[in-house]
A and B are shown apart, each in its own frame.
Chain A
Amino acid sequence: MTEFADRPHLVTLPSGPAHRDIAAALASLPRSFRPGAGEDAIVYVTGDDDWPASVEHALSVARRAIVVIQPGYAQPSTVLRLAERAATDSVPVMIDYAFASNPAVVLAAAAWSAAVEPTGILDVTSRHAGDGTGPMAVLLDQLAALHSLVGPVRTIRQLHIDGDAHSAVVAIPVGGGVITATLLGARTELGSRGSRVRWLGPTEALELEVPHAGTAGPGYSRHVTTEGEQLAPTIYENAHRATLARLSRHLEAGAGRCDDLTTLAGHLELVPREHPSRSASQRTSDQRAN
């Protein structure tokens, strides 16, 4: 009897293209979540142009939690203010990234952080659908993945975003030195969307490849040494479901605060002030409206 006495959280689904994927993720966690609305519901916000305003609004109506899907550019001060308000109200605001929230990234994080040295190459590539806020959101997703796998990103040393492709070079302090990571991204209409990050060190390498968030197809996490190559166990769970599972654990533990927004604000601070991509999300949305 008690085994079935679940009290699922109500979840207000996002509108737009993400609706289907989130509905599917909810359907795979029926004992924890159920679609619905109300003051007690968890609210989804899609990370397009005005996502901070949507979060602000959600904070005034929702008391449980908020999930932001793949956020694009926003003023860092606005995001910090939201983070503070959410902390004061004890409403966790969690970010659902396509890449950084994939369970393969989460699982690999500890081993990566322990292994990566300043020597070698750190490279990230993503191929994305170009929806939401496009390359800027993908860049922020890549930074979030690097944050958990390698460590806090210190500076963006070079950034180029145009239309639907981007390249960036960032510096990350590790083990008494600094490693630079090069990031690439491009829009694709093909099914082969996803991201890959590699650390190619002097005597070993780490490789992590994850598919797009709409599939439960697994990420592949490998450790390459002189002896061979070890593949970590594959996880057939997508980033949306992993985010919901993380939220569920967070709520069960009774923890109010969640650092996702603060980390994001830190990354937004790094985007060069004069860079035109600060308005990239605006441009992309204008294009989409045509």
Chain B
Amino acid sequence: MSDVFGVGVIGAGPVTQAIHLPTLARMPDRFRVTAIMDVDEPVAESVAGRVGARHSTSADDLIGDPGVDVVAVCSPHRFHAEQVEAACYAGKAAVLCEKPLALTVADAERVAQVSRETGVPVIVGAMHTFDPGWLGAKANWGDLQETVRVVNSSIVLPWNARYEDWATQILRRPPPGEPVADDALSRSVAVRDAVLGLAVHNLPHVRHFLPDVESVDWAESVDPYGYLVTIRGGGIIARLLGNMHGYWKPSWTLDAWAADQSLHVEFPPSYVQAGSSVATLTSDTQTRRFGGVEANGYEAEWLRVWELAAGIVPQGEDLQATVDDLIYAVRIADAAADLVRGEHARDRVR
């Protein structure tokens, strides 16, 4: 088990700087960052300099580098699918793609196809799906998936910069987004973006409990950034709520309630290496706690990348689950966007 894989990172923005480089620094026996690419050359050069890697402004160049065994795609959403595919075609050992894997169902299916054809494992950096607390609860919740009635996913966080600044020293922060205009199209685009940008973290968890969405009952884009969506299927109701705000308090929770059992998970915020979630399973006879350990989801996702790259575990079911998670998210995001467009138009008439 002495394989140390060379990592090449595409996109050297805040997530690379604050999340992946510090995480990889904790795993020197498994990974070494060998190349950093960004379309912004000074950023690529400076970030590469931090880890002693070479830099580039071309994704093809990075992917073609024989010193790069594993590619991490950390560019803006719209480039993900295409860059993951290119890394697969280059026959890399594994690809880690930041969430979301793609922005359309067709793109996600194509990525899966390419991954299967080339045999290159692809995983998505939705770190809380790898979280030890969540996984501990999942292995112990018994029939919760059959008995659950209500799911509540709530991601309420201060703006990213608060955490980035504790995780690293950010080089060139992107300018803050424009406020969302109050017209039907802008608001529907905003809700879609927020579902695919933020809700997407917990949609794989929600899908465990509500796999078949029969209807999206409500959707709303929340200012300055957020979403409010309720979905239903198989007699289960789920509420998805998320926003970013200007006060200090992070609160990232997932609840699944059955009449005789409940699951409550408290996840740490993004960026910081603050250990795992704490997941609590309560029944009428006992309360069990999972997680609360030092390892976090970021480390766990990279560990999985390493196992896949080293061929210790086969990609197998992971890939289909990853693609199904994305398809699930895109369908909800699309339905939410449609609903917002219609509802907003009706609101103007009222």
Contact = CB atoms under 8 A, between A and B. Distances in A.
Interface of A: 119-121, 123, 125, 127, 130, 157-158, 160, 162-167, 169, 180, 182, 184-192, 200-205, 224-229
29 contacts: A119-B223, A120-B222, A121-B226, A125-B152, A158-B230, A162-B235, A167-B150, A167-B217, A167-B232, A167-B237, A169-B218, A180-B220, A182-B228, A182-B230, A188-B262, A189-B259, A189-B284, A190-B260, A190-B282, A190-B284, A191-B284, A192-B262, A202-B246, A203-B245, A205-B247, A224-B247, A224-B248, A224-B249, A225-B247
A182 B218 contact: yes
Interface string B216-244: 01101011101010101001010101010
Interface string B320-342: 00000000000000000000000
Given A167-B239, A188-B259, A202-B223, A158 B217 contact: yes
A119 B179 CA distance: 12
Nearest to B249: A224
B205 interface: no
A188 B149 CA distance: 10
Nearest to A125: B152
Given A167-B217, A180-B228, A189-B284, A203 B247 contact: yes
Contact of A190 (B218, B220, B283): B283
Bin the interface of chain B by size: 20 to 34
Contacts of A204: 247
CB-CB nearest 4 A-B residue pairs: A186-B150, A203-B246, A165-B149, A186-B257
Looking at chain A's contact residues, is the secondary structure mostly helix, strand, loop, or mixed? Answer: strand
B150, B243, B260: most-surrounded residue (chain A CB, <10 A):
B150
A163 B228 CA distance: 24
B176 to A, nearest CB: 13
Given A167-B217, A182-B230, A184-B150, A127 B243 contact: no
A201 B149 contact: no
B259 A164 contact: yes
Contact of A184 (B152, B224, B248): B152
Contacts of A191: 284
B224 to A, nearest CB: 6
A125 B264 CA distance: 14
A121 B246 contact: no
A68 B259 CA distance: 26
B217 A121 contact: no
Nearest to A162: B235
A189 B260 contact: yes
A187 B154 CA distance: 20
Interface in B297-325: none
B245 A200 contact: yes
Contacts, number: 104
B226 to A, nearest CB: 7
A160, A163, A184, A205: most-surrounded residue (chain B CB, <10 A):
A184
B156 interface: yes
A186 B239 CA distance: 12
Contacts of B243: 120-121, 200
Contact of B217 (A125, A160, A203): A160
Contacts of B222: 120-121
Given A167-B217, A186-B259, 15 more contacts: A119-B223, A120-B245, A130-B259, A158-B230, A167-B237, A167-B239, A169-B217, A188-B259, A189-B284, A190-B283, A192-B282, A200-B245, A202-B224, A225-B248, A226-B246
A121 B262 contact: no
A45 to B, nearest CB: 27
Contacts of B248: 224-228
Interface in B254-309: 257, 259-262, 282-284
Given A121-B228, A165-B149, A182 B239 contact: yes
Contacts of B284: 189-191
A131 B223 CA distance: 38
A123 to B, nearest CB: 6
Given A167-B239, A189-B259, A226 B247 contact: yes
Interface in B149-177: 149-150, 152, 154, 156
Nearest to A191: B284
A163 B232 CA distance: 14
B224 A167 contact: no
B218 A157 contact: yes
A202 B179 CA distance: 13
Given A120-B222, A167-B237, A160 B259 contact: no
Nearest to B264: A192
Interface in B194-230: 217-218, 220, 222-224, 226, 228, 230
A240 to B, nearest CB: 24
Contacts of B249: 205, 224, 229
A186 B230 contact: no
A119 B248 CA distance: 18
Contact of A186 (B149, B217, B218, B246): B149
Nearest to A178: B347
B156 A200 contact: yes
A92 B257 CA distance: 38
A165 B150 contact: yes
A255 B233 CA distance: 49
Contact of B241 (A121, A205, A227): A121
B209 to A, nearest CB: 12
Contacts of A165: 149-150, 237
A226 B248 CA distance: 5
Nearest to B227: A121
Nearest to A205: B247
A106 to B, nearest CB: 25
Contacts of A201: 245
